[in-house]
Structure 1
Amino acid sequence: MLEQAFSAASSIQPVKHLYVHIPFCHRICPYCSFHKHTPGGTDMTAFVDALLKEVEKQPLKPQTIFFGGGTPTMLSDVHLERLLRGLKERVDMSEVVEFTMEANPRTVTASKAAIMREMDVTRVSLGIQAWDDETLKTLGRDHARADAEETWQVLRKAGFPSLNLDLMFSIPGQSVETWRKTLEHSISLQPDHISAYNLNYEEDTDFFRRLKAGEYREDEGRDAEFFNLAIDTLEAGGFEHYEISNYAKPGHRSIHNEAYWLGEDYLGIGPGAFSTVGGKRWNNVKDTPRYMAMTLDGEATAVDVEELTAEQRRTERFGLELRTARGLPLALIHPESSKMLETLREQGLLSYDEEHVRLTRVGKPLVDPIAVALMG
Structure 2
Amino acid sequence: MQIKAGIALINEDLEIIKDVCIEINDEGIIESIGKGSTCNNYIGNDNIIAIPQPANAHVHSADNSFPEYGIDKNLHELVSYPDGLKHKLLNSLSYNKLVSGISSFYRTAYSLGLGLVVDFREGGGIGCKASKEASKDIKDMDIIVLGRPGNDFPNNCDGLGISSPIDYDENYVIELSRKFKPSMTHIAEDEETRNNNDFEIAMKSDFNALIHGLYLRNDDFEILKNKNVYLIFCPSSNLWHGKKFPPIDLSLKYNIKFAIGTDNASWFIPDVYREAYQLLLYLRLNQIKGEEIAKEILKSLYINGYKAVGVNPKIIKEGMPSHFLLIDGYSSSIINSLNLYNSIVKRVQKGFITYRVDKNNLIKLN
TM-score by length of 1: 0.38
The structure carrying a bigger helix percent of its residues is 1
User: Relative contact order (C-alpha < 8 Å, sep 6+): which is higher?
Assistant: 2
TM-score by length of 2: 0.39
The structure carrying a bigger strand percent of its residues is 2
